[in-house]
Structure 1
Amino acid sequence: MMTQVAYQAPDILTMAYKQPVMQDQLVLLQEKEQQIPGSVQYSIKRYSKNPQWSLDDMGMMVYHYKKEDPTRNFLELRFCVAGNVYCKKKDIECDSCKLNATPGCSERIDTVDVLSFRFLPVHLSQFARPRRTDSTVSDDLLEFRHLSSFSKTLSICGRTRMVLETLLNHSHTGSHENIYINAQSQMLLLYSLECMVGEKEVEGFQCKFLANEADREKIVQAREILLQHIGEPLTIKELSRKVAINECYLKKGFKEMFGTTIFDFYQGQRMEHARYLLYEKGLSVTEVSVMLGYSSISHFSTAFKKHTGLKPCELLLH
């Protein structure tokens, strides 16, 4: 019986450069790899960009299917982007950075950034609809019903580029970083699946006020605040005051920019953080319930099961 050869996807850096890249050509400036429990496994590698290099920004979806061993199935997003900068004194934040006086700064280096986000079936299944006759391409991929491995290049739209830049430049650490990476990687998954099924990027916004960059920034800021207050539930009114925007505009703008309601986004991130605290940190159900601001354990347990399909105590047994 012949052993099935594992699918090998093309190297995205080689594709972006349009020729093989030798290891001795690469100067690694920064590298980060991490597995967020029950969620995404990601890596970020930042290389010094050779001034003579000409690269195309590129995205790729890799779908790995193993019929004989479903535990080895995964969906991976890869991105290669150039044109960003890496500062040697990022952690110190020198005066030039504070004044945004970046041109000519000897501490800043042009980069080529390679990012990878790998999703496993156990995590993706929460997003798929139950099997039905009108299943979409996205449903088949999220449920691993497509029966052969493949890779597909993806265009990097403005929304995807914005997410990638925030991932390269954020300052979150510890559990806040896990929350942030998880949220941003889900946005990348959404935009990539939209690209995969052929949906074209909308040049304009249906909400006319989003044509204003300052208003778009307020919506982005609102999302950041939600991520920073996972254990301190905020009302729409409180959130709108924090970012100085009308409640109605905030709700409509958030839904259009991020494809989900404020409540659904916030609730999903809280439950992902709860999963992390229970499974990785070993906290009790009572401790996590209190940390996330729930008035009773039963309310927390109900919300957790609705999101993950398991009661908190059942997760601890897995």
Structure 2
Amino acid sequence: MHQAPDILSLARKAPVMFNELELLQYREQQIPGSVQYTIHRYRRQSQFEVDDMGMLVYHRVEKNSKENYLELRFCISGNTYCRQKEIECDNCRFSLSNSCEQKSPSVDVLSFLFSPTHLSQFINGGKMKSMPDEIVHFRHASSFSKTLTLCGKTRTVLEALLNHNYSGSMENIFLNAQMQMLLLYSLECMIGEKEEMAFTCKFLANESDREKIEKAREILLQHIGEPITIKELSRKVAINECYLKKGFKELYGTTVFDFYQSQRMEHARYLLYEKGLSVTEVSMMLGYSSISHFSTAFKKHTGIKPCELLLR
């Protein structure tokens, strides 16, 4: 199963421990016959540097179409949030936001999940002529995640979604319209980036070879607890080791080994902190020959020893 990277960690360029963040607002809603969306608004600490970014996640399960979905994720920093927004403090009510003492800088993480049923309304029945057609039809062969540059149009829509005053049926109509615009702009952005894409590794111009690299990434995620060598991985995706290493580096900006280690250590962090497993249990689950080797790898990635995490 495709596991898209955490957009907040990508935007920060470092792993995020969610106990570092204070949740100011959480909202989840399923618009009837439309999109499921969530908004997490966190207080931004002064040392917490985050880039604005978007991500398109295409998830396709060949043998179970019910699990297919298209998701848009966004991370926006620099907004401010009134802690009394739900009851409207006087300064905000009368647009005197500069005088509001309840304002806090925020980091907003938004997710919009589109189901195949919802996207089917946009299918025109003709031949698929472009990548967006394949995505909307769920005909693109493999799952993938694609980071997106936020254009001015996308920023305007996101700002409207975060600050509108609609309620009831009017709110659903407004949200539905804005989310469709987000989908349109995100697909436009993806097309533009693809047209401008020039690969250093010439073989990546071949879509089937790119899909082999994407499949290699998925296999790595599936083998978090079962160490796999470059040779084994290259055989599984039917591409030579040199092409695999060079192609992976170009597509994902990191080496196969560094990506694999990063994912393993993030999984270890989850097992230790969220699941409460012991260092010994996690070390064994991830296939380490000794606790000391695991501890060294964990500290190199996170900056702390596994036992120190358990004390937090």
TM-score by length of 2: 0.60
Report the counterpart of residue 112 of structure 1 in structure 2. Answer: 107
Equivalences for 1:43-122 in 2 at 5 Å?
A: 43-103=38-98, 105-122=100-117
Question: In terms of mean alpha carbon deviation, does 81-90 or 184-193 score higher?
Answer: 81-90
Distance in 1 (CA, whole Å) between partners of 2:141 and 2:193 is 23
Equivalences for 1:149-168 in 2 at 5 Å?
A: 149-168=143-162
- 1:177 equivalenced with 2:179 (yes/no): no
Distance in 2 (CA, whole Å) between partners of 1:92 and 1:45 is 19
Tell me the secondary structure at the aligned position of residue 109 of structure 1: strand
Question: What is the CA-CA distance between 1:99 and the residue it aligns to?
Answer: 4.6
Deviations 1:236-291 (A, max 9, x none): xxxxxxxxxxxxxxxxxxxxxxxxxxxxxxxxxxxxxxxxxxxxxxxxxxxxxxxx
- 1:8 equivalenced with 2:33 (yes/no): no
Q: Is the 8 A contact 1:74 1:121 kept in 2?
A: yes
Report the counterpart of residue 231 of structure 2 in structure 1. Answer: none
Distance in 2 (CA, whole Å) between partners of 1:127 and 1:117 is 17
Q: Is the 8 A contact 1:30 1:46 kept in 2?
A: yes
- 1:38 equivalenced with 2:33 (yes/no): yes
Deviations 1:190-212 (A, max 9, x none): 00000111179xxxxxxxxxxxx
Report the counterpart of residue 27 of structure 1 in structure 2. Answer: 22
Q: Is the 8 A contact 1:129 1:139 kept in 2?
A: no
Distance in 1 (CA, whole Å) between partners of 2:93 and 2:30 is 32
Question: In terms of mean alpha carbon deviation, does 100-109 or 11-20 score higher?
Answer: 100-109
Q: Is the 8 A contact 2:91 2:99 kept in 1?
A: no
- 1:123 equivalenced with 2:118 (yes/no): yes
Question: What is the CA-CA distance between 1:129 and the residue it aligns to?
Answer: 2.5
Q: Which has the higher helix share?
A: 2
Deviations 1:15-59 (A, max 9, x none): 001101102101001111111122101001100001111111000
Tell me the secondary structure at the aligned position of residue 171 of structure 2: helix
1:126 corresponds to which letter in structure 2? Answer: Q
TM-score by length of 1: 0.59
* 5+ long unaligned stretches in structure 1: 1-5, 201-318
Tell me the secondary structure at the aligned position of residue 46 of structure 2: coil
Q: Is the 8 A contact 2:92 2:100 kept in 1?
A: no
Question: What is the CA-CA distance between 1:80 and the residue it aligns to?
Answer: 0.2
Root-mean-square deviation (CA, aligned residues, Å) is 1.6
* 5+ long unaligned stretches in structure 2: 195-312
Tell me the secondary structure at the aligned position of residue 138 of structure 1: helix
2:186 corresponds to which letter in structure 1? Answer: S
Report the counterpart of residue 209 of structure 2 in structure 1. Answer: none
- 1:192 equivalenced with 2:166 (yes/no): no
Q: Is the 8 A contact 2:29 2:37 kept in 1?
A: yes
